[in-house]
Amino acid sequence: MDVIRVSKFGGIYVGGHFYKWDGQPSLSVVRIVEDKTTSLDEIEEDQEIDLVLYPNPTNDQLYLKSNVEIVQLNLLDHTGRQHSFGIQGGGNDKLILDTKHLLPNVYLLQIQLSNGDLTTKKFIKVE
């Protein structure tokens, strides 16, 4: 990030050299806009997300358990390079991820949920 600037009208702008998920450099300016903030009083208890990735570290398989439907998964290594992997259903709330072909490394699993949330879990692949 090279520049942060606040305009006289309250807009916040961030500019600089960033890297995309595929590792390609990008020169960008981003305007941060105001969004409705949800107070703690407005959050219902049934919106709590239970998302578990185990075992960590792993060698052959990872289990991903969630109480919210998973709509998309992306697997990235520490450089941001995307990797493919196999997925099996392990029940209504559990997926089995095949990690046998991955080299030992630190990986990030981006998880897109049906409620719109995007979260990232880190795991370590060992031999």
**What mean pLDDT is predicted for residues 117-126?**
92
Mean pLDDT, the chain, whole residue set: 77
Q: Quick check: helix, strand or coil at residue 101?
A: coil
The residues, any chain, with a CB within 8 Å of residue 17's CB and separated by 6 or more, are 2, 25, 26, 27
Select from 34, 37, 35 the least CA-distant residue to 12: 34
**Where in the chain are the domains?**
3-32, 50-125
pLDDT band at residue 8 under the 50/70/90 scheme: low
pLDDT at 63: 93
Q: Which two tokens stand for residue 58?
A: 């792993």
pLDDT digits (tens, 9 = 90+) for 15-68: 665 566 666 666 555 555 554 454 555 445 545 778 899 999 999 999 999 888
pLDDT at 37: 52
Q: What single-letter amino acid sits at 50?
A: D
Q: What architecture (CATH level 2) is domain 50-125?
A: Sandwich (2.60)
The percent of residues in the chain predicted with pLDDT above 90, rounded, is: 35
